[in-house]
Amino acid sequence: MSPLHIAIIAPLLLAIFIPLFYKYLPRIHTGWFVLFLPAILFVYFLQRIPEVKDHGSIQDTFDWIPSLGINFTAYVDGLSLLFALLITGIGTLVVLYSIYYLSKEKESLGNFYVYLLMFMGAMLGVVLSDNLIVLYTFWELTSFSSFLLIGYWYQRQGSRYGAQKSMLITVFGGLTMLGGFVLLYIMTGSFSVREIIAMAGDISTEPYFIVALILVLLGAFTKSAQFPFHIWLPDAMEAPTPVSAYLHSATMVKAGIYLVARMSPVFAEEGLWIWLVGGIGLLTMLWGSFNAVKQIDLKGILAYSTISQLGLIMSLLGIGAAALHYDHLDENIYMVATVAAVFHLINHATFKGSLFMVAGIVDHETGTRDIRRLGGLFQIMPVTATIALIGTFSMAGLPPFNGFLSKEMFFTGMINVLSLDIFNLDTWGMIFPVFAWIGSVFTFVYSMMLFFRTFTGKFKPEQLEVKPHEAPIGMLISPIILGALVIVFGFFPNLLSKSIIEPAAAAIMPGLVEAGHHFDVHISFWHGFKPELFMTIGVVILGIILYKTLPKWGTLYDKFPNNFTFNHMYNTGLVNTENASNKLTNVYMTGSIRSYMIYIFISFVGIMCFALIEKDAFTIDTSNLAPIGLYEVVLVLIIVIASFTILIAKSRLISIIALGAVGYTVSLIFVLFRAPDLVLTQLVIETISVALFLLVFYRLPRMNRRVENRKFKLSNAIVAGAVGVIVTLVALSAHSTKLFSSISEYYIENTADKAGGGNMVNVILVDFRGFDTMFEIAVLGIAALGIFGMIKLRLNGRNEK
């Protein structure tokens, strides 16, 4: 196993030992044992930057199920390396922050760090897997581990609700994504992302191509909280702040972004991809920023701002995909959107991670996140306030912070849409810069709300649950580092240009790189008096006006009826689905074993009839059958008579004896066909079964045979007769219709040579099907223990009597 594979599974392996650290070293915060791993992994991936920059990618394969084309191939290029650095780098800071945020006396830290490490390993698996099935496996593990993290405070109803909501929506998207992956395999014959990208031009005309595109996008949109699947993210804020800072700023919600970026070379040939990714992303940005303004909870504002920022990145990826339709690119005019998406992905992780931590500090030190009760905290918490100032101004797109640079590039990408002459973008594309500008105005408003209403204005100590004070230095280290990166990347953005941004952008557009185009990324503050500058000035002016007049126009939010919100639709749909399920279940779950058997037998008859008709298998060939002798006829008659005796017997003892007669007679048939092994097996099983039946039925109350009407008996006869007929037809048709040669020929030819045995039945059971036989023995052993326990069982009610 290569170092890349070890890096992926290392968090999962460490998670196994966390309970031991938590149990046997209770005086030490468990986070200190976890901290070293993401730090080491971050350094490891940093060392891979020169290699990826020079050679483009690193790949190692570990065989998993090669017969099905499923191998654990770890693939590192510029895009996956960027995400790996975010996962491990932000993960290191989050673990350090959580050590001071979560109390070892009050919290179940063992569970927390197990869930966190599971999530870290799952995210690394998603971004570093080249095989789609392996990617999907880790994808669903992120949903499961995030469910556990969001519901960490399971005593709270809000935590349970948020965890369930995120699980239902993201798992639904994951299943649709799996369907898209299967369709891609049908079209290409491969699960490898690299191989599928290489065949992208050949599959764009396939009939399943559009369906696969939509299914894959559903998976990406649900995971990255795109409209209208965004509703799970605000409720996920019930998780502890370290979880929010990790999952909802840098990792989980970016998984959908990663998937879209990775699959863009496959689907960008289709205009629907550009419109869906770009259009839905921009709509999400506008809707998220508009709803963030009405929030009163710090984490609520950050939740909707995350939705908005994810939509911004998604829209840039959609527009950037249009570059694949141009053979000649003048000064990378169409590539700027992709470069902006990569740059803002980094910037968002820095300023949003720091802001989530700030929100946690405010909550931790004041006892509330309600901005109506906060205010005037700048003098009391100057360090926290400074970090918040840097983060909010960067999020608002103000200089000199890194958010300003990527926001300007965002405006450039949206303006460039007007110069595209494909897929009606030269006409309808006007909505892109318009929506982008409006969304940026609301982004400015909620950014100002978050900072000024928390840290300036009147101090309200009487409305705070605890006396506020500055956070301990350990809790400040992580947000200080992230805030410093916001400033460093703002003043020196080209520190990332050649090492991180160019390789990541090139990985998103490998076709352009192969065609000779080069991503020459150079980011600077001043671009001259261009439309982007005037758009930014307009955002600031209108944003200040809207912020100052918010009490007057903010009542607009009250006009929206609650019954038409997406959350109401989700809750109503969930309740109606549960009620309908209960009603349907009550219809067929009657408690009657007879009814259940009828359902099973009718389904069996229907399915087998359909199969026989569909395959045209009603064939009876008696040409190669041995003649039927007198002994066989007599034994079959005995079996028939004994079977009817079971049905009409009025005593359980007679029914058990008749059942035993059937089994022993079958063993005599095996004698006639010279199968001593089967005879012995049948005799042993039949003897044990009869004895157990006698023991069990001896404990049952006396039979009270009720008079049953003719209709009841007739329905029994019809179902039983249909099952008997269909089984007979299947047996005869299976013998008469040979779609392929029998496997028995293989055993005849290889029993002596490969297994060194003379008895073919024994060799099959012990060698060829050794594991099957072993598990059958285990099942029988478990059944025997269960039956023994049932015999020894004494019900409490019976003992009381």
pLDDT mean over 436-446: 95
Question: 327, 515 in Cβ contact below 8 A?
Answer: yes
Q: Are strands 57-65 and 70-77 parallel, antiparallel or unpaired?
A: antiparallel
Mean pLDDT, rounded, of the chain? 87
3-state helix, strand, coil in the chain (%, to 5): 75, 5, 20
Q: What kind and span of H or E run contains 72?
A: strand 70-77
Higher pLDDT, 67 or 719: 719
- Exposure string of 475-498, with b = 16+ CB inside 10 Å and e = fewer, is bbbbbbbbbebbeebbeebeebbe
Q: Count of H helices and E strands in the chain?
A: 34, 2
152: closest CA among 91, 243, 230?
Answer: 243
Where are the domains positioned within the chain? Answer: 1-168+240-265, 325-548, 591-739, 743-801
* Residue range 217-238: mean pLDDT, rounded: 93
Give the length of the chain. 801
- Is residue 97 exposed (0-12), middle (13-18) or buried (19+ Cβ within 10 Å)? buried
On the question of pLDDT at 710 being above 60, the answer is no
Pair 225, 165: CB distance under 8 Å: no
Identify the pLDDT of residue 535. Answer: 93
The span from the CA of 643 to the CA of 636, in Å, is 11
The mean per-residue pLDDT over the stretch 560-583 comes to 87
Give yes or no for residue 335 having a pLDDT over 70: yes
- Is residue 332's pLDDT more than 60? no
Q: Is the dihedral of CA 405, 49, 510, 181 positive or negative?
A: negative
Nearest to 120 by CA among 104, 99, 142: 142
pLDDT at 695 over 70: yes
Token digits of residue 116:
């966190």
| pLDDT value at 53 more than 70 | yes
Q: Which residue has the higher pLDDT, 531 or 738?
A: 531
CB 220 within 8 A of CB 259: yes
The runs of H, that is alpha helices, within 64-206 are 78-101, 109-128, 132-150, 157-188, 193-198, 200-203
Label residue 189 left, alpha or beta by phi (over 0 means left) and psi (-120 to 50 means alpha): left
Q: Which residue has the higher pLDDT, 755 or 7?
A: 7
Please tell me the distance from the alpha carbon of residue 152 to that of residue 109, in angstroms, as a whole number.
10
Residue 631 in this model has a pLDDT that exceeds 90: no
Cα–Cα distance for residue pair 530/518, rounded to 1 Å = 25
The yes-or-no verdict on residue 38 having pLDDT over 90 is: yes
Question: Tokens 């569909």 identify what position?
Answer: 614
**Angle, CA 436 vertex, CA 431 and CA 439 arms, to 5°:** 120
User: What's the burial of 452, exposed, middle or buried (CB within 10 Å: 0-12/13-18/19+)?
Assistant: middle
Interval 504-509 mean pLDDT: 89
Collect all residues with Cβ–Cβ distance below 8 Å to 716 and sequence separation of at least 6. Answer: none
Q: What is the pLDDT of residues 736-750, one digit of tens each?
A: 777 677 777 788 888
Beta bridge partners of 370: 297
Q: How many CA atoms lie within 13 A of 262 on its CB side?
A: 30
**How much is the pLDDT for 706?**
53
Reported as a pLDDT band with limits 50, 70 and 90, residue 703 is low
Mean pLDDT over 142-146 rounds to: 94
pLDDT value at 790 more than 90:
no
Q: Does residue 444 carry a pLDDT above 50? A: yes
What pLDDT does 257 receive? 95
Residue 672 has a CB neighbour count (10 Å cut-off) of 12
**pLDDT on residue 733:** 84
Q: How far is CA 44 from CA 49, 200, 706, in A?
A: 9, 33, 77
- Asked whether the beta carbons of 425 and 433 are under 8 A apart, the reply is no
Q: Which of 542, 304, 271, 539 is nearest to 410 (CA)?
A: 539
Residue 331: pLDDT band with limits 50, 70, 90: very low
If one counts every other C-beta atom within 10 angstroms of the C-beta of residue 664, the result is 17
Q: What is the 3-state secondary structure (H, E, C) of 537-551?
A: HHHHHHHHHHHHCHH
Which amino acid, one-letter code, is at 484? A
Coil, helix or strand at residue 74: strand
Q: Residue 284's pLDDT is what?
A: 96
Residue 77 belongs to what H/E stretch?
A: strand 70-77
**Hey, what are 192's tokens?**
């490898």
Residues 768-776: what's their mean pLDDT?
84
Q: At 333, is the pLDDT very low, low, confident or very high (cuts 50, 70, 90)?
A: low
Cβ neighbours for 359, distance < 8 A, ≥ 6 positions apart? 241, 244, 298, 299, 302, 369
List pLDDT tens digits, range 169-187.
Answer: 999 999 999 999 999 999 9
- The predicted-structure confidence for 184-201, as pLDDT tens digits, reads as follows 999 999 999 999 998 988
CA 189 to chain centre: 24
Looking at residue 765, what DSSP letter applies? I
Helix (H, G, I), strand (E, B) or coil at 131: strand
- Please give the pLDDT value at position 800: 47
Residues in a beta bridge with 65: 70
Query: What does DSSP assign to residue 226?
Result: -
Q: What is the dihedral of CA 782, 787, 790, 791, to 10 degrees?
A: -140
Cα–Cα distance measured from residue 113 to residue 240, given in angstroms and rounded to the nearest whole number = 12
Which of these ranges, 344-358, 507-521, 606-620, has the smallest mean pLDDT? 507-521
- pLDDT at residue 521 above 70? yes
Q: Which tokens in the block code for residue 238?
A: 């019930």
